[in-house]
Amino acid sequence: MRLADLPSVDRVLQDARLARAIARHGRELVVDELRGELEARRALLKAGGAVDASAGAIVGALLERLETLARPSLRRVYNLSGTVLHTNLGRAPLPAAAAEAAALSLREPANLEYDLAEGERGERDEHLEGLLCRLSGAAAATAVNNNAGAVLLALHALAAGREVIVSRGEMVEIGGSFRIPEIVEASGCRLREVGTTNRTHLRDYERAIGPHTAAILKVHASNYAVVGFTASPAENLLARLAHERKLPFVNDLGSGSLADLTRWGLPPEPTPGEALRAGADLVTFSGDKLLGGPQAGLAAGRADLVEKLRRDPLKRALRLDKARIAALESVLRLYLDPERLPERLPALRLLTRPQAEIAALAERLRPVLREYCGALGAVSVEPCASQVGSGSLPVDRLPSAALRIAPAAAGPKAAQIARRLRELPVPVIARVHEDAVWLDLRCLEDEAGFAAQLRGLALDPRA
Ligand SMILES: *Cc1c(COP(=O)(O)O)cnc(C)c1O
């Protein structure tokens, strides 16, 4: 094979299959990728490699390249990981009505910052503030990009250039790059640590207050638990101390469900309303954790403090876009009728799904999975425990049911089977545990779609 044997661009373009590819992807992209493909083969030839230079082979490779390019990067997946509010899988799934409200706001103009009654400029916070206040008892509320942003904004607006007091027991890392000491620093405040990892007393806070103190911050133990010989002052005492010294008391709840979860048998999680009643001047919480909405950070509390947040230039940088305002408003409205919340709010529906229902689903799917994947290993139905996720209720587990694939001795290992599941048209995200693949079915609602694509496991030539 010589370089001269490689066909020209024009010659390859005569292949009939490429007419269809051009109709689909556009001429420019097809020609670009064809040049890339020819270039790659030329380089291989120069290096003395064995290269198939036929137009047919080149077209085949080109079509594959175009397929890969056209496939969206952000795709739907089945979350069978066992973690309901999985941060890496997008956290809370939205109700259809909320997603539709978001889509409409994107397609058509909306009164995002427009007062329809007066015919003049309005405030984007207004779409959410009334609902947030009603649901939390706060006097005022605002919304930004996420809860990390809400904490950053609150500290910047209330305490930049001065000190914020935080217990050493709350110097937490929430995940990725959200660490309390770093967020305090990024907001332009100085961190004043008090107490110890396991015990912090009211007097520790009291002693730390000085002329440079601007706020007391409490951070909810979201993704960890301190157990054993522990102490931290009650929130109402901390609030009283802050108020005696004319300091704002900020409580970062993290998840902060807007409803009392215990009425559905879930473990208790502090609500913004409770935290405000216990004396917090400002609470911050996420929109896409237990609240079950889109990614957002909410700050609610005293009107003068919320006003300071609104006037801060960081608010502009962190503000919510119209799609998420639309989705969040739609989700917040569901909380006005808490009785029907578990039917209407997917996050809550999944969290409260009875184990018997999940186990029955597993029994129905077992023969299907065994048919297509029996050669890979033994398929069984097993009880398991789901996690809430997103650092919500870290210690509590929800009884669930899973399909377990125990790899056959001679076949692919659990990690390889898990990879094959991720290669399905709608990737399936499973969990590998003790050399078996676990599919926790708590979050599987599209039973038919899931079963239909399992066939792909058997079609795989490596099966
Ligand atoms: C999750 C969490 C955050 C960060 O919230 P995001 O919405 O992920 O930005 C901050 N504080 C606490 C206590 C949390 O649990």
Q: Per residue in 193-203, pLDDT tens?
A: 999 888 999 99
* Most ligand 1 atoms within 8 A of CB, residue of 145, 174, 177 to mutate: 174
- The pLDDT of 354-368, averaged and rounded, is 97
Which stretch of 168-182, 349-363, 368-382 has the lowest confidence by average pLDDT? 168-182
| Mean pLDDT of the region 104-111 | 98
CA dist 313 → 149, 228, 251, 308, 319 (Å) = 13, 43, 22, 10, 10
CA distance 99 to 51: 49
Query: What is the C-alpha to C-alpha distance for residues 378 and 406, in angstroms, rounded to an integer?
Result: 5
* CA 323 to ligand 1 center in whole angstroms: 21
391 or 349: which leads in pLDDT: 349
- Mean residue pLDDT of the chain comes to 93
pLDDT reported for residue 256: 80
Q: Is 231 exposed, middle or buried (0-12, 13-18, 19+ CB in 10 A)?
A: middle
The β-bridge relationship of strands 78-79 and 428-429 is: parallel
**418 near 432, Cβ under 8 Å?**
yes
pLDDT in tens, 387-418: 998 766 666 789 999 999 999 998 899 999 99
Residue 225: pLDDT band with limits 50, 70, 90? confident
Assigned CATH class of 78-87+350-459: alpha beta
Summarised one tens digit per residue, pLDDT across range 314-343 is: 999 999 999 999 999 999 999 999 999 999
The residue contributing the CA closest to ligand 1 atom 3 is 254
Query: Distance from the CA of 401 to the center of ligand 1, in angstroms?
Result: 29
Confidence of residue 461 (pLDDT cuts 50, 70, 90): very low
Distance 219 CA to ligand 1 centre (A): 10
State residue 460's pLDDT score. Answer: 52
> Does residue 99 surpass a pLDDT of 90?
yes
Number of neighbours of residue 185 by Cβ within 10 angstroms: 13
Where are the domains positioned within the chain? 3-70, 78-87+350-459, 96-344
Residues 6+ apart with CB under 8 A from 390: 85, 86, 87, 91, 222, 255, 286, 288, 289, 290
Backbone angles phi, psi at 405, to 5 degrees: -110, 115
**Protein residue with its CA nearest to atom 10 in ligand 1:** 254
Which residues are paired to 142 by β-bridges?
299
**CATH class label, 96-344:** alpha beta
User: Ligand 1 in contact with 114 (CB < 6 A)?
Assistant: no
Is the CB of residue 297 below 6 angstroms from any atom belonging to ligand 1?
A: yes
Which letter does DSSP use for residue 351 in this model? H
**Residue 292 Cβ < 6 Å to ligand 1:** no
Burial class for 374, CB neighbours closer than 10 Å (0-12, 13-18, 19+):
middle
Look up residue 212 and give its amino acid. H
Q: What is the mean pLDDT of residues 29-51?
A: 93
CB crowding 62-97: b at 16 or more within 10 Å, else e: bbebbeeeeeeeeeebbbbbbbbbbbebbbbbbbee
Q: What is the mean pLDDT of residues 270-296?
A: 97
Atom of ligand 1 nearest to the CA of 296: 7
Kindly report the protein residue whose alpha carbon is nearest to atom 13 of ligand 1. 254
Mean per-residue pLDDT for 431-451?
A: 97
Closest by CA to 350, choosing from 76, 81, 85, 99, is: 85
Across 66-80, 143-157, 219-233, 262-276, least confident range: 219-233
Report d(CA 25, CA 177) in Å as an integer.
38
Judge residue 399's burial from the number of C-beta atoms within 10 Å of its C-beta, 0-12 exposed, 13-18 middle, 19 or more buried: middle
**Residue 178 CA: which ligand 1 atom is closest?**
4
Ligand 1 contacts CB of residue 179 (under 6 A): no
What is the three-class DSSP state of 56?
A: helix
- Rounded-to-5 percentages of helix, strand, coil across the chain: 45, 20, 35
Poorest-confidence range of 40-54, 73-87, 217-231, 405-419? 217-231
Determine whether the shortest distance from the Cβ of 284 to ligand 1 is under 6 A.
Answer: no
* Those residues with Cβ within 8 angstroms of residue 32's Cβ, 6 or more apart along the chain or in another chain: none
Unique residue bearing structure tokens 């509590």: 396
252/457 Cα distance (integer angstroms): 45
Burial grade of 265 (CB within 10 A; 0-12, 13-18, 19 or more) = exposed
Q: Taking residues 167-174, what's their average pLDDT? A: 86
Our answer on whether the CB atom of 166 is closer than 6 Å to any ligand 1 atom is no
Q: 266 φ, ψ to 5°?
A: -90, 160
More confident residue, 268 or 190: 190
How far apart CA 1 and CA 62 sit, in angstroms, is 20
Mean per-residue pLDDT for 71-92?
96
Q: Is 330 a pocket residue for ligand 1 (Cβ < 6 Å)?
A: no
Instruction: Please report the atom of ligand 1 found closest to the CA of residue 295.
Output: 7
Ligand 1 geometric centre to CA of 255 (Å)? 7
Q: Cβ(102)–Cβ(407) under 8 Å?
A: no
327 close to 131: Cβ distance less than 8 angstroms: no
- What is the mean predicted confidence (pLDDT) over 152-169? 97
The predicted structure's pLDDT at residue 463: 41
- pTM listed for this prediction: 0.93
The CB of 217 under 6 Å from ligand 1? The reply is no
Give the whole-angstrom CA distance, residue 402 versus residue 434: 14
Q: Is the pLDDT of residue 365 over 80?
A: yes
Q: Are 441 and 80 in contact (CB under 8 A)?
A: yes
Average pLDDT estimate for 61-88: 96
Which pLDDT score, from 0 to 100, does residue 347 have?
A: 97
Give me ligand 1 centre to Cα 205, in Å: 23
**Looking at residue 1, what is its pLDDT?**
58
* Confidence at 458, pLDDT banded by 50, 70, 90: confident
Mutate which of 83, 171, 252 to test ligand 1's pocket (most atoms within 8 Å of Cβ)?
A: 252
Q: Residue 218: CB within 6 Å of ligand 1?
A: no
Atom from ligand 1 closest to the CA of residue 297: 7
